[in-house]
DNA sequence: CACAATAGTATCGTATACGATCTTGACATC
DNA sequence: GATGTCAAGATCGTATACGATACTATTGTG
């Protein structure tokens, strides 16, 4: 996982992480040259990565006008959250009748990491919060489901970047623990209800916020180029 | 819609259609050179298209070993159908409280086309059957939902190509009409039930089939190169 | 002074080229 | 006869180059 098979992959994962951690904010332009320079690769590899990010809705590509971090409208944001509910209900439903104690332990370990990261910087804890949901999806063993949940969760990060206020400290750790408890009991009704409540809470953080000015893309990506 | 903005787009849509209409069967190799030759473009544009198709699960790309039409395992197939139920339930639920009479007419017009195509070749009627579901998603007005349903429906075509028998004549036209009736009544319960039943019927066509031999990719694509 | 035309720059879309990796088939060896 | 080795060909990943398109700032005109 340290070095990817291809350079395109490396760029893809780096950009993805940069977007999810909100280092690259919605609306920010993503010029192929600048990114290529920063990562030390040609435009070809960058384009490949951008195409993929576009396919999963994290990046908008307008012909001959370049790529930019997607800016979901408020309307799209509501759709996406609605879809997320739909998908995560499916996840919870499947897990209730299949989850094992060791998998529950895995989830608890993840939440422990979340708690540890709560003190430190926002980006990490934001990413971990999302990855909890992706981990849930992975435990279903359904690759397509993982793909969709990953995608949706990423886009929700984007939405929170656009519409949420600075964001509250806890970031849902308690709710994650509640969910684990519900899964352990194996009762779909309560589990789904907890999930529903949790997602509602996440969504409720959405609120208008002004975009602010655009800093230099190279300085932002210098952090991400190292770990590519 | 006749000519796409970029060549990559043209290739993308052509390949996509070829896969959905089962001209390109699961497992078939997709060499960049051969496709580029056939469409009269360079590998660059073909690659771009293949990356996109890979992102939506229609094509597998293995590093340094080329692309091939995806071959969902039986297990993945079940997952995908389960996901499809989940998504289309969402679609139907939304439509029940928003659909207008003119939209219903639009659906009926589409089914009329399906009926007309029933006599002709399989590929067309198979594509139309899928597009009915995509049209449903479009009527929700939710772009993300359309994207996901399109993706899932395409992959279901792939699955039917792999696992279904020659395929029955009606192909669900009656069920589509039933669904429209249910939507007109605006009752979510019956509508979802009808949808559930319909998808169950589609899924039940799944059955093992042997892959057969691989014909020349150029001759298959000559048909699709014209309309690119 | 406001606004349209235009030249210059930045950025993208695509083709081509080259090295790297994988596949295939022949040959040698056990 | 089975298996391992290696060379030739096929195919891919990536860099680079060039024409096309969109953006920007300057200049000229009403």
| Chain B CB contacts of A65 below 8 Å | none
Report pLDDT for A227. Answer: 59
Contact A79 B145 (CB under 8 A): yes
Query: At residue B208, does pLDDT exceed 60?
Result: no
Report pLDDT for A13. Answer: 94
How far is it, in rounded angstroms, from Cα A151 to Cα B54?
Answer: 15
Contact B57 A147 (CB under 8 A): yes
Which stretches of chain A score pLDDT less than 50? 1-3, 208-213
Question: Confidence band (pLDDT; 50, 70, 90) for B168?
Answer: low
Kindly state the average pLDDT of the residues B172-193: 83
Report pLDDT for A214. Answer: 52
| Chain A CB contacts of B52 below 8 Å | 51-52, 55
Report pLDDT for A4. Answer: 55
Report pLDDT for A172. Answer: 77
How far is it, in rounded angstroms, from Cα B169 to Cα B171?
Answer: 6
Instruction: Residues by CB within 7 A of strand D: list them.
Output: A 6-8, 41-45, 48, 64-65; B 30-34, 43-44, 47, 61, 63-67
The Cα-based distances of A6 to A85, A94, A113 in angstroms read: 34, 34, 30
Kindly state the average pLDDT of the residues B94-102: 90
Question: Confidence band (pLDDT; 50, 70, 90) for B60?
Answer: very high
Q: How far is the CA of A4 from the C1' of D5 (A)?
A: 30
**How many angstroms away from the CA of B90 is the closest CA of chain A?**
7
Report pLDDT for A208. Answer: 38
| Chain B CB contacts of A48 below 8 Å | 47-48, 51
Beta bridge partners of A69: A59
The Cα-based distances of A155 to A76, A130, B46 in angstroms read: 10, 10, 28
Report pLDDT for B196. Answer: 75
B100: its two tokens? 């207008």
Contact B63 A90 (CB under 8 A): no
- For residue B86, give the nearest of A82, A90, A147 by CB distance: A90
How far is it, in rounded angstroms, from Cα A17 to Cα A13?
Answer: 6
| Chain A CB contacts of B145 below 8 Å | 79, 83
Residues B67-86 have pLDDT tens digits of: 999 998 888 888 888 898 89
- For residue B144, give the nearest of A55, A83, A144 by CB distance: A83
Kindly state the average pLDDT of the residues B26-41: 93
Identify the CA nearest to A77 among candidates A131, A150, A172, A156: A156
**How many angstroms away from the CA of A48 is the closest CA of chain B?**
7
Report pLDDT for A3. Answer: 46
Do residues B38 and B225 lie in contact, with contact meaning Cβ atoms separated by under 8 Å?
Answer: yes
Radius of gyration of chain A (CA): 18
Query: At residue B96, does pLDDT exceed 80?
Result: yes
Domains of chain A, each with CATH number or no CATH = 7-71+211-226 (1.10.10.10), 74-204 (1.20.120.530)
Find where tokens 């030759």 sit: B37
Q: Which residue is nearest to nucleotide C15 (CA to C1')?
A: B42
Residue B65: CB less than 7 A from any atom in strand C: yes
Question: Nearest 5 degrees, angle CA A98-CA A127-CA A162?
Answer: 120
Report pLDDT for B212. Answer: 43
Q: Which residue is nearest to nucleotide C12 (CA to C1')?
A: A64
Report pLDDT for B167. Answer: 55
Protein-proximal positions, strand C, CB < 7 A: 10-17, 20-23
Report pLDDT for B1. Answer: 40
Residue in chain B closest to A85 (alpha carbons) equals B90
Query: At residue B102, does pLDDT exceed 80?
Result: yes
Residues B140-161 have pLDDT tens digits of: 998 889 999 999 999 988 888 7
How far is it, in rounded angstroms, from Cα A67 to Cα A47?
Answer: 9
DSSP H or E run through A61: strand A59-62
Contact A90 B79 (CB under 8 A): no
**How many angstroms away from the CA of A143 is the closest CA of chain B?**
7
Question: Confidence band (pLDDT; 50, 70, 90) for B190?
Answer: confident
Mean pLDDT over the full length of chain B: 83
Contact A142 B52 (CB under 8 A): no
Report pLDDT for B213. Answer: 45
Return the percentage of chain B with pLDDT > 90, whole number.
Answer: 41
Kindly state the average pLDDT of the residues B48-58: 94
């Amino acid at each position: 996982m340290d070095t990817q098979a291809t350079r395109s992959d490396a760029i893809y994962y780096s950009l993805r992480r940069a977007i999810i951690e909100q280092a690259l904010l919605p609306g920010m332009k993503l010029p192929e040259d600048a990114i290529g320079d920063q990562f030390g690769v040609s435009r070809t590899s960058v384009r490949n990565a951008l195409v993929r990010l576009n396919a999963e809705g994290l990046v908008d590509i307008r012909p001959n006008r370049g790529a930019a971090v997607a800016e979901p409208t408020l309307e799209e944001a509501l759709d996406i959250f609605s879809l997320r509910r739909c998908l995560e209900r499916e996840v919870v439903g499947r897990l209730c009748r299949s989850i094992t104690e060791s998998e529950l332990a895995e989830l608890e370990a993840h939440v422990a990491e979340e708690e540890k990261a709560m003190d430190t910087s926002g980006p990490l804890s934001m990413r971990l919060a999302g990855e909890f949901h992706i981990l849930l999806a992975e435990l279903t063993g359904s690759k397509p489901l993982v793909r969709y949940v990953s995608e949706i969760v990423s886009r929700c990060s984007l939405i929170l970047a656009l519409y949420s206020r600075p964001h509250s400290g806890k970031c849902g750790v308690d709710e994650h623990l509640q969910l684990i408890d519900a899964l352990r009991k194996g009762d779909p009704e309560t589990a789904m209800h907890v999930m529903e409540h949790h997602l509602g809470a996440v969504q409720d953080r959405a609120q208008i916020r002004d975009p602010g000015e655009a800093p230099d893309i190279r300085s932002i990506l210098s952090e991400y180029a190292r770990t590519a």
